[in-house]
Amino acid sequence: MQLAQQRLRQVSTHDRQHSNRIAAAQRRAVRPSRLTVTNAAAPDISTQLSSSTTELDEVRQSLAARLASSDVIMQPYSLPGVPDDYHPSQGWRPLPHHLSKPDIWQRIRQEAKADADAEPTLASFLYSSILGHSSFEKSLNFILANKLASPTLYSTQLVKIIEDCYKEEPSIVDAALADMQACFDRDPACDKYTQCLLYFKGFQAIQCHRIAHHLWGKGRKMLAVALQSRISESFHVDIHPAATFGRGILLDHATGVVVGETAVVGDNVSMLHHVTLGGSGTGKGIRHPTIGHGVLLGAGVSVLGNVTVGCGAKVGAGSVVVTDLPCHSVAVGVPARIVKQTARSEPCQTMDQIEDFILDYVI
């Protein structure tokens, strides 16, 4: 855990001079045309292609000038009562609109009661999952245990295991509350806390991983691996028990997310489906990525090897990252290249995967 925290602290101060040189070089670079003419016997087509190439180059140059502009005003966080100095890339902290654990549990119970009254078919399900429990952690324990249970791994056994983990490391419950609040804040499809708790498999998968990670750290590695297997089978999310996650994590949709053994993920990180934090090589050292605070990884992103994605960075959908990315940069492509860098960007505020680069990406 200390090594993981040290790696995250290094991210925010990672070689800023090198990052600035990269950004400056890319602003100066003139990209070659992707459209070429090889058939000299077709002058009409050649003329048309030449005209199209000129137009595309003009679009690229205009876009490059816009992206290189430093006159970018950070948009305020799109929630009421959020302080102006709040920056997700600086790590997790509770915000004024975030509820305390007793208050959020009371809200969950109110939502469950209203849902049971409105939809009697769900009444027994809601009672056994929420209304029949006296605390948030007991409800979460019951839900996770029944999700992970199998014909040979009983839910009653898992309830006891999870209960012991919560007693030994109460911060697991605090992290779950932070993850739930992150989901409620960043996912526009999440209208109620009960939605996240009961139905969002990304939230459930990361809470199950926190249990497996605790067991791994206690030396109960076979049990941790068994839970990893059940997480993969139940949620289609494969996270090695040794991987480290911060707070305020959002796995949106979550299907196909893969995170390797030595990966470290900071606070306020958002990942969409089919994200891979993969390793490189067969060595036993650090071979997986470090993801800084406040990073957004779009759908289908692969980050491979011992590379660092700096705090506040955004990686566009379908990109493959194989080198370090500086803080507050926007990267896209295969392999990923930096198309924008501004010290004031906070991508997890908007969850926008494409706005910064879509014109350049599709041309």
Indicate whether 100 and 147 sit together in one domain: yes
From the list 297, 308, 290, 209, the residue with the least C-alpha distance to 253 is: 297
Indicate whether 164 and 275 sit together in one domain: no
d(Cα 342, Cα 70) in Å, to the nearest integer?
Answer: 7
From the list 179, 100, 182, the residue with the least C-alpha distance to 144 is: 179
What percentage of residues in the chain have a pLDDT greater than 70? 71
Looking at this protein, which amino acid is placed at residue 333? G
Give CA angle at 251 (245, 256), nearest 5°.
105
From the list 192, 193, 239, 242, the residue with the least C-alpha distance to 214 is: 242
From the list 319, 314, 307, the residue with the least C-alpha distance to 274 is: 319
d(Cα 33, Cα 54) in Å, to the nearest integer?
Answer: 9
Do residues 319 and 292 make contact, with C-beta atoms less than 8 angstroms apart? no
Per the structure, the count of domains in the chain is 2
Q: What pLDDT band is residue 110 in, cutting at 50, 70 and 90?
A: very high
Mean pLDDT of the chain: 83
Asked whether residue 65 is assigned to any structural domain, the reply reads: no
pLDDT of residue 348: 54
> pLDDT tens for residues 213-261?
999 999 999 999 999 999 999 999 999 999 999 999 999 999 999 999 9
The sheet with strand 308-309 has its strands ordered as 244-245, 264-265, 290-291, 308-309
Asked whether residue 51 is assigned to any structural domain, the reply reads: no
Asked whether residue 54 is assigned to any structural domain, the reply reads: no
pLDDT of residue 32: 43
Asked whether residue 113 is assigned to any structural domain, the reply reads: yes
Indicate whether 221 and 255 sit together in one domain: no
Indicate whether 308 and 207 sit together in one domain: no
Indicate whether 189 and 276 sit together in one domain: no
Do residues 239 and 222 make contact, with C-beta atoms less than 8 angstroms apart? no
Q: Look at residue 209 and tell me whether its pLDDT is greater than 70.
A: yes
Indicate whether 255 and 149 sit together in one domain: no
Indicate whether 110 and 142 sit together in one domain: yes
Question: Residue 186: which residues within 8 A CB-CB, separation 6 or more?
Answer: 250, 252, 270, 348, 351
The domain of 252 spans: 1-16+85-90+246-363
Last residue of a domain, one of 193, 214, 236: 236
Indicate whether 266 and 229 sit together in one domain: no
pLDDT of residue 56: 59
Residue with tokens 């993850």: 179
Q: Is 290 helix (H, G, I), strand (E, B) or coil?
A: strand
Q: Look at residue 305 and tell me whether its pLDDT is greater than 50.
A: yes
From the list 237, 246, 277, 281, the residue with the least C-alpha distance to 261 is: 277
Last residue of a domain, one of 236, 260, 289: 236
From the list 298, 296, 280, the residue with the least C-alpha distance to 288 is: 280
Indicate whether 128 and 255 sit together in one domain: no
The mean per-residue pLDDT over the stretch 299-326 comes to 95
pLDDT of residue 48: 56
Q: Look at residue 18 and tell me whether its pLDDT is greater than 70.
A: no
> pLDDT tens for residues 142-198?
999 999 999 999 999 999 999 999 999 999 999 999 999 999 999 989 999 999 999
CATH number of the domain bearing residue 213:
1.10.3130.10
Indicate whether 134 and 186 sit together in one domain: yes
pTM reported for the whole predicted model? 0.77
The sheet with strand 270-271 has its strands ordered as 250-251, 270-271, 296-297, 314-315, 329-332, 337-341
Question: Residue 254: which residues within 8 A CB-CB, separation 6 or more?
Answer: 201, 202, 205, 235, 236, 237, 273
d(Cα 219, Cα 265) in Å, to the nearest integer?
Answer: 21
Indicate whether 224 and 285 sit together in one domain: no
Q: Look at residue 65 and tell me whether its pLDDT is greater than 70.
A: no
pLDDT of residue 72: 39
CATH number of the domain bearing residue 250:
2.160.10.10
Last residue of a domain, one of 236, 265, 293: 236
Asked whether residue 129 is assigned to any structural domain, the reply reads: yes
d(Cα 334, Cα 16) in Å, to the nearest integer?
Answer: 23
Asked whether residue 279 is assigned to any structural domain, the reply reads: yes
> Would you give the distance in Å from CA 178 to the centre of its chain?
14
Asked whether residue 343 is assigned to any structural domain, the reply reads: yes
Indicate whether 232 and 263 sit together in one domain: no
